[in-house]
Structure 1
Amino acid sequence: MPPLRTLLAVPVSLALLWLAPADSQARSAPPTDAVLPLLVSRGAAPAAALLAREETDTRYAQAGPGISRADHFRAGSITKTFVATVVLQLADEHLLSLSDTVEQHLPGLVRGAGNDGRALTLRSLLTHTSGLYDFTRDTGGIVPVAPLQSVRIALTHSPAVRGRFAYSNTNYVLLGLVVEQVTGHSYATEAGRRIIAPLGLTGTSFPGSRTSLPSPHGRAYAADGSDVTELDPRVAGAAGELVTTLADLDRFYAALLGGELLPSHRLREMLDTRAAHGSYGMGLFPVKLPCGITVWGHNGRISGSYVRTAATVDGRRVLTFRVNTTAIADPDLEPALLAAEFCPRTP
């Protein structure tokens, strides 16, 4: 990603801010606060921010101008964790089964170019093992399309080998359609009543076709530095529509992994990566850090925003960080930030 020189005029050292809980102000700044500004200086982000949560304590840090703790931002594929949670809740209510075929719920929709919904299960959609082509490879993630249109785009391409992990946004667009078919309501409505309202996620919404962000919010920039704050969320739909805040994402993943949203057997299914050969569960994926600790979560990339949430498997410790551009130029910075947060510190 080319450097955004005009956006980096404020020295990182002056922009770094760290706020500790009241009972721990004497503690030295954690390692994440040293890594965060590198997202700006080496990662070519205009600004970055993080919010870490452990039990009832939170810690906020930011680097660069024009970003704040309370900002609303686009969360991209983190939407998938919300959709997967709704589907697993519906499975637990026996309104669907993960072994159901796509054809059972969306008859005749997935046909063509070697694609066949009769051979695809909902489990294969959740785990990205369906082989369906990712429609955003054709749209670039910048062209708004209706759900059925995005599926039709995917079906002009031959599928990959079924049973192998191949990340595809088409899978979760289809799951959004399944949720609507089963419940009679949109995935956004179901996520609102099942997740957003019960957890009090007041900064989280599914904007539909609304191009503006709720206040407060900063600006969002594409890789070339152009302002893309105004964006039609239909570029991603059920695969990446979500708008949220740092605090809401920490709360959501803590609640999910802590067992507040799913019974234990369904949560175990969500964390089971065997279908995707260790790469992905259902709306969550694991990362094993150099210290041996495995964290769970998801990332989200959409034009003008990159977000990453990771948590311990019990949800007691959560980190969300974001940058206000589409991607981080240095891919080594994300694992470094996660290791700095979750790996034990040496004296």
Structure 2
Amino acid sequence: MPMPRALFVAPLLLTLFGLGSAPLSSEPHPDPAAARLPPLVTEGGAHAAALLAHRVSSAPYDTYRLAGPGIRRSDRFRAGSITKTFVATVVLQLVGEHRLRLSDPVERLLPGLVHGNGSDGRRITLRALLGHTSGLYDYTADPSAHPLSATAALHVALAHRPTNTPGHYAYSNTDYAVLGLVIRKVTGHSYAAEIRHRVLTPLRLTGTSLPGARTSLPSPHGRGYTRDPADGSLRDTTSIDPRTAGAAGELISTLDDLNRFYAALLGGRLLAPAQQAALLNTRASHGVYGLGIYPQKLSCGLTVWGHNGRIAGSHVRTAATRDGGHTLTYRVDTDASADSEALGTALVDAEFCEASPPSRPGP
């Protein structure tokens, strides 16, 4: 499972469903797993978290739960690397339109751009970029670099030797910076414009946006916090320059929109069958990652699909069943959580295994 970088600090325990739980007025049935969901770990003054679950099967329900002050269901928040699933969807749609092929080498599309210090665009395909098997160094691993464009991010990456040889899995934000450039080359439009046209507008995801250079969050929104590495203090990072994240992580969204997006994607509404199969193919990563999405096998044998996202002031996780009929998104108003990966595993496991009987396990 990919683990985006973050600052780790000592936790303060809060219980997600013990504080201010609030079912939706339209909820046909209460969430049977709510009382059994595990505690949520957050920090210091950044103590707000929320979870939204939705199911459309034989026992449908919507459930919203929250912990801590200053957070609402309608809030816009930074979704970090969940951006990658949106970018991958656009690339796969272009493949379905025969404007791209997954076997296309980067060199054919962006001649001369990915070359040097051991990296060779002739050996890196679009499939490798989508599935993090390109070997390209992750530009966010260089703490001295704060690139404000995809080409600048690529220059940072190419200043380092590859993390792995092409064909071996290694999560790298550089892969999606390059994919953003590929989308512009093929369509003549930015990846943000293509996401709006192909995904946001058709699905009516009105709370989702790609801010570009805009540093503020759209209203309504809460606050976001991170830990200052210099003195360990908690500081407000609600306003940041998202250009460093770019196609790897600039997305702003809501709980409802993320659930709706993954339900549509996994439900087959955005991709043709061949591209849908490619999306969920994890062979190249030995089961770790598909193309912009990854699986999580739960304790009850069910496999869910989704992505996590971590960016300054925000940690998010979305998971859904393979048919998109049961979705879960939770968010925390800080990226400074020492054990957020374990928390995410526990929350997802409790929701899907306790709330419904196990269905046929995924691949």
Root-mean-square deviation (Å): 2.3
Q: Give the TM-score normalised by structure 1.
A: 0.92
Work out whether 1:127 is the aligned partner of 2:137.
Answer: no
Partner of 2:194: 190
Q: Distance in 2 between matches of 1:214 and 1:182?
A: 30
- The one-letter amino acid of 2:293's match is L
Q: Deviations over 1:301-328 (max 9, x none)?
A: 0011000000000000000000000143
1:216 aligns with 2:216: no
Give the whole-Å Cα distance in 2 for the aligned partners of 1:231 and 1:36: 31
Runs of 4+ in 1 over 2 A off after TM superposition: 1-5, 10-16, 20-25, 29-41, 327-332, 344-347
Letter in 1 for 2:184: E
CA 1:289 to 1:196, structure 2 compared with 1: closer, same or farther past 3 Å?
same
What is the total number of aligned residue pairs between the two structures? 340
Report if the CA contact (8 A) 2:15-2:38 is conserved. no
Cα shift at 1:22 = 4.2
**1:196-211 pair list within 5 angstroms:** 196-211=200-215
Paired residues of 2:45 and 2:234 also in contact (CA < 8 A): no
- Between the aligned partners of 1:140 and 1:284, the Cα distance in structure 2 is 29
Give the aligned partner of residue 2 of structure 1. 9
Structure 2 distance, partners of 1:120, 1:13, is 45
Whether the aligned pair in 1 keeps the contact of 2:28 and 2:62 (CA below 8 Å) is no
Tell me, what secondary structure is at the counterpart of 1:119? coil
More helix by share: 1
- Give the drift of 1:235: 1.8
Deviation at 1:21, TM superposition (A): 5.4
Does the Cα contact within 8 Å between 1:40 and 1:63 map onto a contact in 2? no
Alignment correspondent of 1:282: 291
Q: Residues 1-347 of structure 1 correspond to what in structure 2 (within 5 A)?
A: 1-3=8-10, 15-20=19-24, 22=26, 24=28, 27=30, 30-32=32-34, 34-35=36-37, 37-40=39-42, 46-55=47-56, 57-139=61-143, 143-159=146-162, 160-223=164-227, 224-330=233-339, 331-344=341-354
Where structure 2 has 5 or more consecutive residues not aligned to the other structure, the ranges are 1-7, 228-232, 358-363
Note the C-alpha offset of 1:277: 1.2
> Structure 1 CA distance, aligned partners of 2:35 and 2:336?
20
Question: 2:161 aligns to what SS in structure 1?
Answer: coil
Cα-to-partner distance string for 1:178-222 (whole Å, 9 max, x where unaligned): 000000000000000000000000000000010000000000000
Q: Which runs of 5+ in 1 are unaligned?
A: none
Q: Equivalents in 1 of 2:288, 2:161: separation in Å?
A: 23
Identity %: 56
**Whole-angstrom CA distance in 2 between matches of 1:301 and 1:329:** 12
Aligned-partner Cα distance in 2 for 1:153–1:199: 35
What is the alpha-carbon distance in structure 1 between the residues aligned to residue 16 and residue 347 of structure 2? 17
Q: CA deviation at 1:130?
A: 0.5
CA distance in 1 between partners of 2:77 and 2:156 (Å): 28
What CA deviation, in whole Å up to 9, does each residue of 1:278-317 have, x standing for no partner?
1100000000011111000000000110000000000000
Deviation of residue 344 (structure 1)?
A: 3.7
**Contact 2:82 2:251 (8 Å CA) reproduced:** yes
In the alignment, the residues of structure 2 paired with residue 140 and residue 81 of structure 1 have an alpha-carbon distance, to the nearest angstrom, of 27
Question: How far apart in 2 are the matches of 1:241 and 1:95?
Answer: 25
The residue identity in structure 2 corresponding to 1:237 is G
SS at match of 1:126: helix
